[in-house]
């Protein structure tokens, strides 16, 4: 099993503004051709939190966004308004550990989902795109409790106004 984070942050490290909004990202412009399609083809499972799901569900044709993966949303809701998304609850690290060793798992958004996996050294790769925006405040990407986590820089690319940094877990 390999666990990936793939997402975009502001230059000061925020995933979303204080109201969990992403207008700052959309107003920055869309990234030119990225490796997103190649990345997604390698994924078997997506995992996101409720707020990330709600933001994604507002997009046009949202139910077709992740058509080839098993899609799980951590929420207290018993059902979700989009087909293809399964509500789950409990400890995210235990859930991920139970998914099987032959799966590629994409953690989408949400420091509440990412932090417990980082704390248990379960994240193998971080693909962090950085938008040229300073928000000053918002929802940070990293909030794990434990101290130092070391990764190695595996690649740097530029897509229009966005920089992409790829970090892999130290072996």
Strands 139-140 and 14-16: antiparallel
- What's residue 33's pLDDT? 66
For the segment 120-145, the average pLDDT, to the nearest whole number, is 92
> 146 falls in which pLDDT band (50, 70, 90)?
low
DSSP H helices in the chain: 23-28, 36-41, 50-57, 92-97, 111-119
Cα angle for residues 149, 36, 90 (degrees, 5° grid): 50
pLDDT, one tens digit per residue, over 86-124 is 999 999 999 999 998 899 999 997 788 999 999 999 999
**pLDDT single digits (tens) 47-95:** 999 988 988 888 778 878 899 999 999 999 999 989 899 999 999 999 9
- The number of domains in the chain is 1
CB neighbourhood size of 171 (10 A)? 4
Domain span including residue 111? 2-169
Which structure tokens are listed for 39?
A: 């990345």
Q: What is the CB neighbour count within 10 angstroms for residue 137?
A: 9
Predicted local distance difference test score (pLDDT) of residue 32: 58
The CATH number of the domain where 140 resides is what? 3.40.430.10
Distance (Å, rounded) from C-alpha 78 to C-alpha 41?
Answer: 29
Q: Cβ-count burial of 48 within 10 angstroms (0-12 exposed, 13-18 middle, 19+ buried)?
A: buried
The mean-pLDDT minimum among 16-20, 24-28, 49-53, 94-98 falls in 24-28
Average pLDDT, the chain: 90
Residue 163 burial by CB count (10 A; 0-12/13-18/19+): exposed, middle or buried? middle
Looking at 33-37, 68-72, 96-100, 144-148, which range is the least confident one?
A: 144-148
pLDDT of amino acid 113: 93
């Amino acid at each position: 099993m390999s666990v990936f984070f793939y997402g975009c942050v502001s230059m000061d490290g925020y995933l979303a503004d204080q109201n969990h909004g992403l207008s700052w990202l959309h107003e920055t412009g869309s990234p030119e051709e990225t490796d997103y399609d190649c990345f997604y083809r390698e994924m078997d499972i997506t995992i996101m939190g409720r707020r990330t799901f709600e933001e994604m569900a507002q997009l046009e044709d949202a139910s077709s966004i992740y058509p080839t993966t098993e899609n799980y949303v951590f929420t207290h809701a018993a059902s979700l308004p989009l087909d293809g998304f399964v509500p789950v609850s409990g400890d995210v690290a235990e859930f991920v550990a139970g998914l099987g060793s032959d799966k590629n798992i994409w953690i989408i958004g949400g420091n509440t989902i990412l932090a417990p996996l980082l704390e248990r050294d379960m994240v193998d790769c971080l693909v962090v795109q950085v938008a040229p925006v300073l928000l000053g405040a918002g929802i940070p990407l990293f909030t794990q409790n434990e101290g130092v986590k070391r990764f190695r820089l595996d690649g740097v690319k530029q897509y229009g106004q966005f920089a992409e940094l790829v970090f892999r877990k130290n072996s």
